[in-house]
Structure formats: structure tokens, C-alpha cells
């Protein structure tokens, strides 16, 4: 594929109830979830479609075996690498781990790995469609609704994490925002695009990990849909630089996610 190495090229929801998750995110995000598509043997996998017909990611049904092995509902990102074998070997050499070894299917090869702080993520060497060898992924966007708009890493060691992802994927830190006792919010760029940030895990945060913020057209409408669908919305939305608003939530199966977007309701723009 023509995506630059180091790009987020796919997002995946692991869930215990794909039907309920499909309905929930359909109401909150406006996505449609379809069955079928390339998948590994014995795995139920669904495709998440945006209202414009593009892809938003995939949905994997957690099996009893996966749950027994410690898997839990959550969102995961796939980072593009040109050579998955070399990347996995380098991650292991630096103290990372492998949660799922390389698997090869029609659309490419991927592995679920962990960074040295134990945070899981996928690496993938994709195979483009035969009819479109220059195909690119648009599951991430800095400004479009129904895509991931921000990738946020909460980690025990923010400085080490920035260095790790920089070495393996070419990311760079471009500035930081002081957050008092929480330390710096370190902004990340990949191939010249602001993709997210890294911050140190505070004691009150439940766990380290990647969090993904989905773009919505109206933050209040999305929050209302999440609450009505049985999600757990954490507090009130916070305004961020640029004027938009963000909020954190858990879906009904326990997967953590964020929302980002404007407030459209009159009188709630400030």
C-alpha cells in the first residue's frame, strides 16, 4: 500500500457482543457494521463502514479461548511497517513482547505486540488490492467525522515511549503542553502529520494503553446516544485548543474510547 511506514492504517474493536456493539456504535458514530471480509480461521470478524462508504476499521469477536487467555474488550491500532518480521524482532530485542505471533491473511501480515512498558498494539505489513496497488488507508484523519482523529498513549514512562516509537516507526515529538502535576502532554507527528500525543500515566488512571478519539459532528448528540445505548460517559466534555470538545467513555462491553467534535447546540459553544 502507498501509506507511509509508521502510519496508523487500521483500527479494531475486540468485543464480547458484536451485535450489541454494532448497534451502539451505529447510534453514537453513524457507522454500519457488516459481516464477512478477510479473516483468520476460526475468527468472527466484521467490517465497520462510514456513512460515506469508506472504512472505519474492524470488529473482532472475542472467543472463550481468548477471554481465558486474558483478552478483554478494547480498541487497538495497527501501525504500518514495511517488514513485519524485522519490526517484531527489533521490538523483542528492545524489551517488547508478542501477544499474538505473525498471522498472514489475504490483506497482509500482522502481529499483536507490546512496547517495553507493556502497552499492546498491532504492526502490519499490508498487501494492497490487486486492482488498486496504490491504495491508501483513510481510517485516520485529522478532521473528518467517523474516523479516528487522535491517538493518545498513556504510559508509565512517556520519555522512553516517545523514543521507542520514534526508533521503530519514525515518529517525532513536536512540542508539548504542560499539565502541572501530570507532566507534559507530548505531541506526536508521523510523516509530518500530527497523529496524537503521549502522556505519563497518573496514579488515578486505571491502566496504561492506547486510546483513540473518534470524530463526531456534535459532541452532545454523540454523548446522549452513548448514554442511551448503555455506555458509561466519564464526566462532562472538555474544550481543547482550537475550540472543539472531547470526552471519554466506555461502551457497554467495557471498551474505552474517546470522542472529539464541536458543540452544535446554541449557547454551548463556549
Number of Cβ within a 10 Å radius of residue 156: 13
The reply to whether 268 falls in a domain is no
Number of Cβ within a 10 Å radius of residue 132: 10
DSSP 3-state assignment of 115? coil
Q: Are residues 33 and 111 in the same domain?
A: yes
Total number of domains constituting the chain: 2
HSE on the CB side for 125, CA within 13 Å?
Answer: 12
The pLDDT tens digits of the residues spanning 183-233 come to 999 999 999 999 999 999 998 888 999 999 999 999 999 999 999 999 999
| CATH number of domain containing 208 | 3.10.180.10
The reply to whether 143 falls in a domain is no
The reply to whether 168 falls in a domain is yes
Q: Are residues 69 and 169 in the same domain?
A: no
The reply to whether 270 falls in a domain is no
* The three grid cell numbers given for residue 204, joined into one nine-digit string: 488515578
Query: Residue 222 class from Cβ within 10 Å (0-12 exposed, 13-18 middle, 19+ buried)?
Result: buried
Number of Cβ within a 10 Å radius of residue 258: 19
Containing structural domain, residue 237: 148-261
Would you write out the chain's pLDDT as a tens digit for each of its 270 residues?
567 899 999 999 999 999 999 999 999 999 999 986 556 667 899 999 999 999 999 999 999 999 999 999 999 999 999 999 999 999 999 999 999 999 999 999 999 999 999 999 999 999 988 888 888 999 999 999 999 999 999 999 999 999 999 999 999 999 999 999 899 999 999 999 999 999 999 988 889 999 999 999 999 999 999 999 999 999 999 999 999 999 999 999 999 999 999 998 744 544
Q: Are residues 190 and 255 in the same domain?
A: yes
Amino acid at each position: 500500500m502507498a501509506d507511509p511506514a509508521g502510519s496508523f492504517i487500521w483500527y479494531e474493536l475486540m468485543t464480547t457482543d458484536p451485535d450489541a456493539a454494532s448497534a451502539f456504535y451505529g447510534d453514537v458514530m453513524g457507522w454500519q457494521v457488516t459481516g464477512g471480509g478477510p479473516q483468520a480461521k476460526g475468527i468472527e470478524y466484521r467490517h465497520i463502514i462510514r456513512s460515506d462508504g469508506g472504512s472505519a476499521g474492524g470488529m473482532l469477536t472475542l472467543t472463550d479461548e481468548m477471554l481465558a487467555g486474558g483478552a478483554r474488550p478494547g480498541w487497538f491500532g495497527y501501525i504500518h511497517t514495511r517488514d513485519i518480521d524485522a519490526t517484531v524482532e527489533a521490538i523483542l530485542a528492545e524489551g517488547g513482547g508478542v501477544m499474538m505471533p505473525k498471522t498472514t491473511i489475504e490483506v497482509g501480515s500482522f502481529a499483536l505486540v507490546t512496547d517495553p512498558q507493556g502497552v499492546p498494539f498491532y504492526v502490519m505489513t499490508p498487501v494492497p488490492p490487486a486492482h488498486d496497488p496504490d491504495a491508501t488507508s483513510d481510517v485516520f484523519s485529522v478532521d473528518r467525522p467517523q474516523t479516528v482523529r487522535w491517538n493518545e498513549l498513556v504510559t508509565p514512562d512517556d520519555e522512553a515511549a516517545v523514543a521507542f516509537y520514534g526508533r521503530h516507526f519514525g515518529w517525532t515529538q513536536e512540542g508539548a503542553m504542560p499539565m502541572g502535576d501530570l507532566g507534559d502532554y507530548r505531541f506526536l507527528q508521523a510523516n509530518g502529520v500530527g497523529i496524537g500525543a503521549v502522556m505519563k500515566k497518573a496514579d488515578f488512571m486505571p491502566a496504561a494503553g492506547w486510546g483513540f478519539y473518534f470524530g463526531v459532528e456534535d459532541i452532545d448528540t454523540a454523548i446522549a446516544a452513548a448514554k442511551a445505548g448503555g455506555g458509561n460517559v466519564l464526566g462532562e466534555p472538555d474544550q481543547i485548543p482550537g475550540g472543539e470538545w472531547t470526552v471519554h467513555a466506555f461502551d457497554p462491553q467495557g471498551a474505552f474510547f474517546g470522542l472529539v467534535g464541536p458543540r452544535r447546540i446554541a449557547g454551548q459553544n463556549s
